[in-house]
Structure 1
Amino acid sequence: MSDPLFPPADPARLAAIHAEAFAAPWDAAALAELLASPGVFAVAEADGFILIRVVADEAEILTLAVRPSSRRAGLGRRLVEAAVVRAAALGAERMFLEVAEGNAAARALYARCGFVEMGRRRGYYSHTDGRREDALTLVLNFPR
């Protein structure tokens, strides 16, 4: 049964948004495969989406993509907040994610949403120029 607040996501539409948001985007097939996985859901608006996986009492942000033309207008925060509500309804008590250390805008968004740093993955991200970048692991513990 589908949830009217979280209708099924169209992988092709999500892939188009992801392609605008990232230098190494995920294609529709990869997104469709993720969406078919147990515990995975998307929250989407016209110009952005967030993809979440819930397993037991933990949720993970797999990706958050917002079209560049729609950034800095509150969409990212709305998506994160809606994902937290949905993940909590599915039994999650906390949410994790990895973010590139150099992605100041994303780090600021997650800090505003209450996420805190809990670890680091050295050289987690690889760039097209061969550079490696650390990922910061962030967590948000849901209020009880």
Structure 2
Amino acid sequence: MSALITSAIPFEIRSLSVDDAPAMFRIESLVHSHPMSLANLEDCFGHLYRVQGIYAADELLGFSIVQQIIDEVTLLDICVAPTAQGRGLGKQLLTELIAQAKVADAVVVMLEVRQSNCAAMGLYQQAGFVESGRRKGYYPLDDGREDAILMDLSL
């Protein structure tokens, strides 16, 4: 558990459990045009996964989900409630998951991001991620499809 301070408002990052999946789903549904289902979120609580939430008081404001297989960590989702965006919470979640990956002897953190998600790509680039590939037409849009940008961070 990490106590964090941003703009004089205390935030805390802590591990989540499957009981937190409904609150995660509420945030996921507000943020993503094609959110993960509640069942998919609940499936992310096995031994290969680390799920962290960032809280102010007892309110879940965001979360991250990673899967680690041997020495490779894949960031599956990082999501901050719209009302809490712009306060650096995504950066705090990303910094924490990278630190945990290092402790768990990972050599790389991998992710994919929508090509239109410039804010997320900027966050990842600032943390040292580099583009490693593309998946053409991977993500659905209301009127078509868009590419997924693959990014890696060597640890």
Q: Normalized against structure 2, the TM-score is what?
A: 0.83
Partner of 1:42: 51
Aligned length: 137
SS in 2 for 1:34: coil
Residue 128 of structure 1: CA displacement? 2.4
Q: Which runs of 5 or more residues in structure 1 are unaligned?
A: none
The answer to whether 1:67 aligns with 2:78 is no
Q: Separation in 2 of the partners of 1:7 and 1:102?
A: 30
Q: Separation in 1 of the partners of 2:103 and 2:48?
A: 12
Residue 139 of structure 1: CA displacement? 0.5
Q: 2:33 aligns with which of 23, 48, 52?
A: 23
Q: Separation in 1 of the partners of 2:115 and 2:39?
A: 28
Q: Separation in 2 of the partners of 1:97 and 1:138?
A: 5
Q: Is the Cα contact below 8 Å between 2:16 and 2:53 reproduced in 1?
A: no
Residue 8 of structure 1: CA displacement? 3.2
Q: Is the Cα contact below 8 Å between 2:16 and 2:52 reproduced in 1?
A: no
Q: 1:7 aligns with which of 4, 15, 28?
A: 15
Q: Separation in 2 of the partners of 1:47 and 1:8?
A: 12
The answer to which structure has the higher strand fraction is 2
Partner of 2:145: 132
Residue identity matched to 1:51:
I
Q: Which runs of 5 or more residues in structure 2 are unaligned?
A: 3-13, 55-59
SS in 2 for 1:132: strand
Q: Separation in 2 of the partners of 1:29 and 1:96?
A: 23
Q: Normalized against structure 1, the TM-score is what?
A: 0.88
Residue 30 of structure 1: CA displacement? 1.3
Residue identity matched to 2:26:
A
- Structure 2 matches for 1:92-107, cutoff 5 A? 92-107=106-121
Partner of 1:77: 91
